[in-house]
Amino acid sequence: MLDRPVESRAPAERRPNLRQAPLSGEPIEPEGLTVTALLAALRRRRWVLILCAVLFPVVALIAAKQLTPRYTATTTLLFETQNYSDPVRGTFLPESTTDAVVSSQVEVIRSLSIARRVARQFNLDDRPEFSWWLRDAQRVSTPWYRLREALAQRLSALSPDLAALVAPEPPAEVPPKETAEIEAAEEARARLLVQVVRNSRVLQVQFTSEDPRLARDVANLVADLYIADQLEAKFTAVRRANDWLDGQVAKLRQELQTTESQIADLRASSGLRQGTNARGISAEQLSKLNTDLIEARNAQAAAVARLAAARGGQGTDLTALGASNLVQQRAALDTARSELQRLQANLGDRHPDVAAARSRVNDAQRAVGGETGRVVQALEAEVRATTARVRSMEEQLRQQEARVNQSQTAEIQLNALEREAEASRSLQRAVLERAQITASQTAIEKADARVLSVGTMPGSPSFPKVPLFVAAATVLGGLFGLLVIWFLEQADSTIRSGDEVRSALSLPNLALVPMLRRGLLGRHRVEDYVVRKPLSPFAESMRTLRAALWLGAEPPRVVVITAARPGEGKTTTSVALARSAAMNGERVLLIDCDVRQPSLGRIFRAEGAAGVTDLLLGQAVLERIIRRDHLSSLDYIPAGAAEIHSLGLFMSEAMAGLLDRVRRDYDLIVLDAPPALAMADARVVARLADATLLCVKWRDTPRSVVRNSLGLLEDAHARVVGVALTQVDAKVHGRSGYADAEVYHPRYGGYFRE
């Protein structure tokens, strides 16, 4: 029987040309985060969100109850600087308070000096709340410390190193008194909060402590210390100002005495007396000397001019110079020259009259030269006399100016000293007045800040704020729940709807087979439910599956129903589909091809009966192995005896002959095949059939497993026509938000009968 394996499928004329969606090996592409998809995911996994939104507040509430409550007291201050007046100008100084000044008061209040006085006042170094060494000493009384200490003592005899590793760290040593005070003050500063009220000069001093009374007292004490420090600083500044002003007064007095002594000495040395106008007398004398000097210089200039005229001779009025003889002689000379020129022009140079005329010209020239020399000598004597007089008067003027300058210098120095003395007197009066004002200011000095409202004992803790904690935990729980839902959605690689079947497998989803719960089944079996409840949603899903197979271009007769792995509901689907088709009046044959784990014998109570393996081995005839269902008109063939060589049987010609024979007698032949991923029998049987239906368990089978099994069927040239999602939870899927969940809406309840 096995000597000739099947080399090809059934003849082409016996197999319908079925439409088949192509298989795709591409990775699954996400649908995208749409509002609908998000709401659907929230609806499917709402219990995760609800659990996180409830669990987080509960944990926060429990944790808040375990925390040590802290109380915060608030003291309010108003910072306002005083307006001081200028005693010299008689005006008020401008306002100098700025935001920076107000903000700097925050650091002044939080200074370490104030914190140390607070720590000293309330002995904060003796309180575990502010002393870390006291809190560390409390570890000794904890059960965990005693347990580790006892365990270390037991291990010390066995291994000192192990005992040292297990032994707890001993408590810290108590620091010195000053160091402890500083540490407590630093901890108090950490609990002290000072802030400026927006757009104001109001300062809020807040202190937080586990003791509400201590919180109130510390807040009020910090405000009082701040105001007291301001007053002390102002009193110190006033005292320093008074001391400085007193020193300035003494210094000015000494300088005034020195200046007055210098004035007296200068008057004595210069001969100036108080009230004498030395400058007026000197001015009159200088004026007379200047007038005489000007006249002398004019006379000198006139003499020099006459001397120059006498020496030049030409074009000068010599009569005015007192030289009338010289004028006459020059006139005679001019006449002789004119006569000589006339004779030369008429008689020539050699005529005796010309020679006589030339002799007369020479005599006239000698007479003019002698007279000119006499006049020039007289004028030179006059010039020397006027020059000597000018020099004498200039010397007198210089001597007088020197005396005047000396007097003026002394007077200028005297005036300067007098002005300096007057300025010293004025400054001394001003400093004395300021000293008196500063001395009187001490009595009226007040701080720049005042208390608006004192701190009161807080009635409720400021930490932890249980309502705020619970609200924040609720929001955080909701966000964490959304994160968990997103992670679960991303990590869920199963198939949950027909849309995911089409997007992930490129195959149509032919039916959604609902899961039958135990309470719904009652005493019925799952395989019998389609007969017992023909109007149920389960039976309708079988009719939907049969209609999907029938609505093709040419309905297949031989249909293989397989799955990727066991437990997918393929056998239940095979039996229910076959019975549903038989109840519709079709001639249906169901063959159990899962030889290694047969199920039809158990379902139809025909264990041990001869079946398909016996037929393929030639140990039985077809008429003997075909049996009739006791609940419907379905015919079925059990698996028969277990056969380890079942693959060879399905590849044999006998199997092809069996399918050819039953095609003539039945409208639909359903082959219940083993899982396709692990068993080769399913691929061989799928190759021989007209169509293959893959069962996938809803929200259970990973997509990678389904795709791998589809790849194996594709390699076997099987015609996979679609997928049936099995064991679908109707209630869960109805709330999922997927499009195909509409069939489970209560509006369709009138069409079904459970």
pLDDT at residue 25 greater than cutoff 80: no
Higher pLDDT: 189 or 40? It is 189
DSSP one-letter string for 466-520: HHHHHHHHHHHHHHHHHHHHHHHHHH--B--SHHHHHHHHSS-EEEEEE---HHH
Residues 26-52 have a mean pLDDT of: 70
Q: How many CA atoms lie within 13 A of 684 on its CB side?
A: 20
The sheet carrying 635-637 orders its strands as 509-514, 720-728, 691-697, 558-563, 668-672, 588-592, 635-637, 627-628
CB 225 within 8 A of CB 210: no
What pLDDT is stored for residue 720 in this prediction? 95
Helix (H/G/I), strand (E/B), else coil: 575: helix
pLDDT at residue 91 greater than cutoff 70: no
pTM for the whole structure: 0.55
Report how far residue 671's alpha carbon sits from residue 589's, in angstroms, rounded to the nearest whole number: 8
Residues 403-407 have a mean pLDDT of: 68
Report how far residue 330's alpha carbon sits from residue 322's, in angstroms, rounded to the nearest whole number: 14
What pLDDT is stored for residue 627 in this prediction? 95
DSSP one-letter string for 144-171: HHHHHHHHHHHHHTT-HHHHHHHSPPPP
Helix (H/G/I), strand (E/B), else coil: 637: strand
DSSP letter (8 states) at residue 649? H
pLDDT digits (tens, 9 = 90+) for 325-354: 767 777 887 887 888 788 777 777 777 877
CB 413 within 8 A of CB 196: no
Distances (CA, A) of 94 to 1, 109, 444, 641: 121, 26, 20, 115
What topology is assigned to 278-437 in CATH? Helix Hairpins (1.10.287)
What pLDDT is stored for residue 83 in this prediction? 56
- Beta strand 558-563 with 668-672 is parallel
Q: How many CA atoms lie within 13 A of 526 on its CB side?
A: 16
What pLDDT is stored for residue 245 in this prediction? 82
Domain boundaries, the chain: 46-67+465-488, 100-193, 278-437, 495-747
Highest mean pLDDT out of 303-317, 421-435, 544-558: 544-558
Helix axes 352-444, 324-347, angle to 10 degrees: 130
**φ/ψ of residue 539, rounded to 5:** -65, -35
DSSP letter (8 states) at residue 97? -
What single-letter amino acid sits at 538? F
pLDDT digits (tens, 9 = 90+) for 664-723: 999 999 999 999 998 899 999 999 999 999 999 999 999 999 999 999 999 999 999 999
pLDDT digits (tens, 9 = 90+) for 594-621: 998 999 999 999 888 999 999 999 999 9
Helix (H/G/I), strand (E/B), else coil: 729: coil
CB 394 within 8 A of CB 356: no
Tally of residues, the chain = 754
Report how far residue 412's alpha carbon sits from residue 272's, in angstroms, rounded to the nearest whole number: 12
What pLDDT is stored for residue 4 in this prediction? 32
What single-letter amino acid sits at 430? A
Q: What angle do CA 745, 746, 751 make, to 5 degrees?
A: 100
Higher pLDDT: 91 or 280? It is 280
pLDDT digits (tens, 9 = 90+) for 505-564: 999 999 999 998 887 787 888 889 999 999 999 999 999 999 999 987 688 999 999 999
What pLDDT is stored for residue 239 in this prediction? 83
Report how far residue 67's alpha carbon sits from residue 53's, in angstroms, rounded to the nearest whole number: 22
pLDDT at residue 11 greater than cutoff 60: no
DSSP letter (8 states) at residue 94? P
Q: What percentage of the chain's residues is helix, strand, coil (to nearest 5)?
A: 60, 10, 30
CB 685 within 8 A of CB 650: yes
What pLDDT is stored for residue 94 in this prediction? 53
Report how far residue 367's alpha carbon sits from residue 213's, in angstroms, rounded to the nearest whole number: 140
pLDDT digits (tens, 9 = 90+) for 124-181: 999 999 999 988 888 888 888 888 888 888 888 888 888 888 888 888 888 999 999 9
Report how far residue 231's alpha carbon sits from residue 222's, in angstroms, rounded to the nearest whole number: 14
What pLDDT is stored for residue 479 in this prediction? 93
What single-letter amino acid sits at 379? L
- Residue 679 belongs to what H/E stretch? none
pLDDT at residue 5 greater than cutoff 80: no
Helices (H), 584-735: 600-603, 612-616, 622-625, 646-651, 653-665, 680-688, 703-715, 730-734
Which residues fall within 8 angstroms of residue 91, CB to CB, at 6 or more apart? 85
Report how far residue 591's alpha carbon sits from residue 604's, in angstroms, rounded to the nearest whole number: 12
Which residues fall within 8 angstroms of residue 433, CB to CB, at 6 or more apart? 87
Q: How many CA atoms lie within 13 A of 494 on its CB side?
A: 14
Report how far residue 716's alpha carbon sits from residue 177's, in angstroms, rounded to the nearest whole number: 90
What pLDDT is stored for residue 95 in this prediction? 53
CB 207 within 8 A of CB 130: no
**Cis, bond preceding 464 (omega within 30 deg of 0):** yes
Average pLDDT of the chain to the nearest whole number: 83
What single-letter amino acid sits at 443? A
Distances (CA, A) of 578 to 406, 465, 633, 670: 148, 67, 10, 7
pLDDT at residue 448 greater than cutoff 90: no
What single-letter amino acid sits at 276? T
What pLDDT is stored for residue 603 in this prediction? 93
What pLDDT is stored for residue 543 in this prediction? 94
**CATH 3.40.50.300 correct for 495-747:** yes
Report how far residue 109's alpha carbon sits from residue 111's, in angstroms, rounded to the nearest whole number: 6
pLDDT digits (tens, 9 = 90+) for 714-754: 999 999 999 999 999 988 888 777 888 787 777 777 777 77
Q: Which two tokens stand for residue 696?
A: 């996938």
What pLDDT is stored for residue 265 in this prediction? 77
What pLDDT is stored for residue 27 in this prediction? 42
Residues 76-81 have a mean pLDDT of: 87
Helix (H/G/I), strand (E/B), else coil: 194: strand
pLDDT digits (tens, 9 = 90+) for 225-282: 999 998 888 888 888 888 888 888 888 888 888 887 877 777 777 666 665 555 555 6
Higher pLDDT: 447 or 566? It is 566
Instruction: Centre a 10 Å sphere on the Cβ of residue 573 and count the other Cβ atoms it contains.
Output: 25
What pLDDT is stored for residue 157 in this prediction? 83
Q: Indicate the pLDDT class of residue 29, thresholds 50, 70 and 90.
A: very low
Per cent of the chain over pLDDT 90 is 41
What pLDDT is stored for residue 88 in this prediction? 42
